[in-house]
Structure formats: C-alpha cells, structure tokens
Amino acid sequence: MIVFDKVTKKYPLGNTALDEVSFEIEDNELVFLVGPSGAGKTTIIKLILQEFRPSSGSIIVDDLDITERGFRNVSALRQSLGIVFQDFKILQDKNIFENIALSLRVLDKRDLDTRSQVKEVLKLVGLSEKERVFPVQLSAGELQRVAIARAIIGDRKIILADEPTGNLDPKTSWEIMRIFKKLEGKKTIIIATHNTDIVNSFQKRVLVVKDGKLIKDHRKGKYEI
C-alpha cells in the first residue's frame, strides 16, 4: 500500500509543488496519475523514491513511514521499487541482458537466479531474441520494453512509470501498455501520463492533479484536467 497523508512540498524559492495531497493506493492496484505539465505528478513519484522529502505530511510505502525522521534505509526502499522513465535511462555500453541483470544484481541475487529471471522478463516483454543486442540497435519502443523488464525483475512489488509512452508513437504506446496490462493485479502500478486515449480506454482509477492539488479521484475514471 502507498499512502499520502496531507503531503505538501514547497521549494526554497516559495513555489508549492504539492499542497496537502492525500490518497491511498492498495496493493496490486493500477492507477493513472494525470494533470497538466507542472501539476505535481513527477513530484509525487520523486517523493515516493525519496529523491527529496516533503515539507509536511507523511508518506507510507509498504507499511513503512518513509518520511519519519529516523528513516534511513533509502537504498533498500529504492531497490524495492521498479522505475520506468520516459527517456529509458538504458546503459549504452552494455547489452540488453547486462542492462537488465544489473538491476537484479543490486539485490544480491545469485548468478543462476540472474540468468533465469532475465530470460523470464525478456519473454514477458517480447524481447527473448534480443538479449545480446546493444541499445543502439533497438527502436524506442524496444528500449522502453527493456526499461520495463529492468523495473519488474527481482519481484519488485511497486512499479512507478513516469510518462512511459511520452516518446513513442501511438502504435508503440499501445504495445507498451499491453505489457502493463499483463502486470495488472500482480503489482502496484502508478503511471503518470498525458496520453488521453490510453487512460480513457483502460477505465482504471485516475488521480487528477492540478496546481499541486489532488482535484479528482475516480475509481473508473477518464482523462480530465
């Protein structure tokens, strides 16, 4: 479960990124986070990642209050989260197998586990034949598949996706979303997106953020700002 309780984030120059935002996301729930640019979507994801702390309020991730003054285990928190970025963040000097395996090795898994698990996630994202290929040889859609594989390997329970289809054409965007559909009900997934068609078609829970405030929370929602 992820819980935001009256979370406010203010920056040093006085700008308010979030203003007393509260919500609860259940285990294995798929949620879309929508709103105009600068609304606070990425701030929510960065707060979960503990890239910075809120100015006030509390955040619970898997029963841990990560905003508690004594919380120090940021590394373990980040290792438990799978992150999918708009710009992929794939290491260009490593092949696809190595990119994905690196995400697993930070969890201190044995080499035998590494090989079998990498093959398993590559099959899930439709890249079984690409494990020895380098990133420069892949399309944008394939690179995003690698990013998703890297995020889900190691049985991570929570997936945070920040504009995962932002750099992709419509057809490829739907192919990527079909992967998330396969994961639905198995992992907690938060997808920040501007893609109206995808949000409306999924008809899943939608959190609408505008000017740092949570203005709507629809269980079977659509894209509204």
Q: Which residues contact 205 (CB under 8 A, 6 or more apart)?
A: 29, 30, 31, 32, 217, 218, 219, 220, 221
Mean pLDDT of 36-65: 93
pTM of the model: 0.91
- Residue 218 inside a domain? The answer is no
Each residue of 56-103: pLDDT tens digit?
A: 999 999 989 999 988 888 888 988 899 998 888 899 999 999 999 988
- Residue 195 inside a domain? The answer is no
- Residue 177 inside a domain? The answer is yes
With beta carbons less than 8 A apart as the criterion, state whether 200 and 223 touch.
yes
- Residue 219 inside a domain? The answer is no
- Residue 63 inside a domain? The answer is yes
- Residue 221 inside a domain? The answer is no
- Residue 165 inside a domain? The answer is yes
The CATH number linked to 134 is: 3.40.50.300
* Tally of structural domains, the chain: 1
Other Cβ atoms closer than 10 A to 22: 13
- Residue 224 inside a domain? The answer is no
Each residue of 123-180: pLDDT tens digit?
A: 999 999 999 999 999 999 999 999 999 999 988 899 999 999 988 999 999 999 999 9
User: What range does the domain containing 43 cover?
Assistant: 2-187+204-212
Residue 224 tokens, joined: 């509204």
